Chains A and B, each alone.
Chain A
Amino acid sequence: MTDPDRSYCGPLERVDECCYRIPRSYKPGMRVDGLVFADERLLPHVRSDRAAEQVANVAFLPGIQAASLAMPDIHWGYGFCIGGVCATDPAAGGVVSPGGVGYDINCGVRLVRTSLALADVQPVIVQLVNQLMRDVPVGVGQGGRHVFAPAELRDLMRDGVDYLVRRGLATEDDRACTEAEGRLADARPELVSERALARGQDQCGTVGAGNHFIEVQVVDRVEDERAAAAFGLQHDQICVLIHSGSRGLGYQVCDDALRALRDAPTKYGIQLPDRQLVCAPVESPEGDHYLGAMRAAANYAFCNRQLLMWQVRKVFERVLGRPWEALGMHLLYDVAHNIAKLEEHDVDGTRTTVCVHRKGATRSFPAGHPDVPERYRATGQPVIIPGDMGRASWVLAGGPRALERSFGTTCHGAGRCLSRTAATRAARGRDIRAELEHGGVVARSRSRDGLAEEQPEAYKDVDMVVDVVHRAGLSTRVARLRPLGVIKG
């Protein structure tokens, strides 16, 4: 049954088979239309919560360009929906909003290739997953092996993965295969609070809880041979997917910013339909402060995933008895899906620097874009889309229409369709771990409810989500990966 207080009953006008419009006329105060990428199959999900209302609310933001956008994995978030994209023009009074990035600044994923085949790993998958669970900190309250003093943390936040290269915990190749080469310029670690530093000092190199995980996967379908070859992927190949973000440090940076910006809308005369959209002009002391601290937290997140990968490599070395280099454990790519960046885009035919907010959305730059690493420039950047722990994840390539339609952006995952409590209810009387094992997935979780809350049925079918972004030209299918083993918080 649809609850009118918990669902979206407003307009969704069909633009084409993969896109629906919330017209600017829906609410007085909207500066642009809302555009939701979805098809008929996903529309009931889009209407099932208030996320589309949030797409309309984001259209109120000063300086917003083109449209308030949402990807097909859209669901209800704070202020901005998850799957939301918004580009603002600083020169036109455009704002930056912490709600457009989210609490987990630079939450993202990285995919590690190996030279192993399914037959190499299948016999040791239980041992491998158990060893990952022992050696990689996962779950709430778990501190990491790498503890950084405040001065070291500031260097790490300023220099990103470069700092870990200097410390011998990353290679030049790792750095080159990370979005923004693992370092957002103009990070301002000095603006990160003492409380954030305290939360972050022992968490770099930890998975965390919630929907974060490390998953051993196998390539079960290649859809684009040319792109797969460029990405170093082939059928039957083992990969490892790592999903985490900036941990407590990033959450605190967001919390600090929301508090510091409470009075900014009044100060700058900004009318907002939802206080969670609190924001300040990019070109203001408040906007500058948030962006500086946010970039520092983003660099921390790149380092977190790098240290997680470093530990995963050690686990594989231990279980398989060969150095990680001999196992071909090279980083394919690392992508952020909660971030705000200043990027150049064509807006109404004019090259414009805009502040692109991606909240639960992934950069998807196409072939030829200068920000795509040279090794991938002929195919478009790798886009990594985690699905759920029972079905599949995807590797896509930056799509030909992404720049014109979505400021170079695509989806970030399957998107939840069951709340945590509903998923736990649905799991009562069942053994989710045994069900996954029966389906060929060895799953380990630190917490009592972790597997229940994150069970496959809690998520939309990622194949369906990926189908929409593929047909919309936002990103194109390269390879599908099936899970073999997963550790979660």
Chain B
Amino acid sequence: MHEVFEHTADLGLRVEAPSLELLLAEAGAGLFEILAGDMHQIRCRDERTFDVPGTDPEWLLLDWTTELLAAFTVDRMLFREFAVSVHPAGLCGTARGEPYDPAIHTLAHEIKAVTQHELDVRRTATGWEATLIVDI
């Protein structure tokens, strides 16, 4: 699950999941919910894969969500479904969605970047939780 929380000029995302893989996938969904608002408007017609190197869970979260954001800002891709597998040298992620079309999609926020501010990934008694803040 994920929830959006407030930050003075921007928005934060709090994510919980039973595993690191599911946490990263859920963070992708939260990111695109901030960007697009209604996720139901995005159809899963296209698939992209992402290889993100690294071992530190915080940097993995930051770099994965940054790559997803770049797929929107550069290639105009909107994603709705996410799957992640973590391996010793990094992660392999899959995102499914479709190209942004102003005729059918509305967007809620322009995200400038995913920031390191208050970036946090930790294990909990029931799994994993993460916090990240995006610059609007």
Given A251-B112, A251-B113, does the pair A421, B4 have CB atoms closer than 8 Å?
yes
Out of B6, B37, B74, B109, name the residue touching A419 (CB < 8 Å): B6
B97 CB, min distance to chain A CBs, angstroms: 14
Given A140-B110, A448-B108, A489-B110, does the pair A49, B116 have CB atoms closer than 8 Å?
no
Out of B63, B70, B113, B117, name the residue touching A79 (CB < 8 Å): B117
Q: A104 vs B113: C-alpha distance in the bound complex, in angstroms?
A: 10
Check if B112 sits within 8 Å of A103, measured CB to CB.
Answer: yes
Task: Name the A residues within 8 Å of B73 (CB-CB).
Answer: 199, 248, 252
Q: Which chain A residue shows the least CB distance to B106? A: A448
Check if B135 sits within 8 Å of A103, measured CB to CB.
Answer: yes
Contacts of A456-489 to chain B: CB distance below 8 A: 489
A413 CB, min distance to chain B CBs, angstroms: 11
Check if A78 sits within 8 Å of B117, measured CB to CB.
Answer: yes
Task: Name the B residues within 8 Å of A276 (CB-CB).
Answer: 115-117
Q: Which chain A residue shows the least CB distance to B7? A: A419
Q: A208 vs B108: C-alpha distance in the bound complex, in angstroms?
A: 12
Check if A141 sits within 8 Å of B74, measured CB to CB.
Answer: no
A303 within 8 A of B: no
Task: Name the B residues within 8 Å of A262 (CB-CB).
Answer: 59
* B8, B106, B110, B136 interface centre (most CB from chain A within 10 Å): B8
Check if B37 sits within 8 Å of A448, measured CB to CB.
Answer: yes
Check if B74 sits within 8 Å of A421, measured CB to CB.
Answer: no
Task: Name the B residues within 8 Å of A252 (CB-CB).
Answer: 70, 73
Q: A68 vs B59: C-alpha distance in the bound complex, in angstroms?
A: 29
Provide the A137-159 mask, 1 if CB < 8 A to any CB of B, else 0.
00111000000000000000000
Which size bracket describes the interface of B in this complex?
20 to 34
A82 within 8 A of B: yes
B83 within 8 A of A: no
A375 CB, min distance to chain B CBs, angstroms: 35
Provide the B102-129 mask, 1 if CB < 8 A to any CB of A, else 0.
1000111110110111000000000000
Given A420-B11, A420-B136, A448-B106, does the pair A78, B6 have CB atoms closer than 8 Å?
no
Given A78-B135, A198-B74, A276-B116, does the pair A255, B66 have CB atoms closer than 8 Å?
yes
Contacts of B54-113 to chain A: CB distance below 8 A: 59, 63, 66, 70, 73-74, 76, 100, 102, 106-110, 112-113
Task: Name the A residues within 8 Å of B6 (CB-CB).
Answer: 419-422
Q: How many chain A residues touch B (Cβ–Cβ < 8 Å)? A: 39
A258 within 8 A of B: yes
Check if B8 sits within 8 Å of A49, measured CB to CB.
Answer: yes
Q: A82 vs B37: C-alpha distance in the bound complex, in angstroms?
A: 27
Task: Name the B residues within 8 Å of A258 (CB-CB).
Answer: 116
Task: Name the A residues within 8 Å of B8 (CB-CB).
Answer: 49, 75-76, 416, 419
Check if A82 sits within 8 Å of B9, measured CB to CB.
Answer: yes
Contacts of A245-259 to chain B: CB distance below 8 A: 248, 251-252, 254-255, 258-259
Contacts of B5-28 to chain A: CB distance below 8 A: 5-11
A195 within 8 A of B: yes
A354 within 8 A of B: no
A275 within 8 A of B: yes
A82 CB, min distance to chain B CBs, angstroms: 7
Q: Closest 8 interchain pairs by CB?
A: A419-B6, A140-B110, A209-B110, A421-B6, A251-B112, A78-B117, A76-B8, A198-B74
Further 11 A-B residue pairs, CB within 8 A, beyond A140-B35, A255-B113, A489-B110: A76-B7, A77-B9, A103-B113, A104-B112, A141-B110, A195-B74, A199-B73, A251-B112, A276-B117, A419-B6, A421-B11
Q: List 19 A-B contacts (CB under 8 A).
A: A75-B8, A78-B133, A139-B110, A140-B108, A140-B110, A141-B76, A141-B100, A195-B74, A251-B135, A252-B73, A262-B59, A275-B116, A416-B8, A419-B8, A422-B6, A447-B106, A447-B108, A448-B106, A449-B109
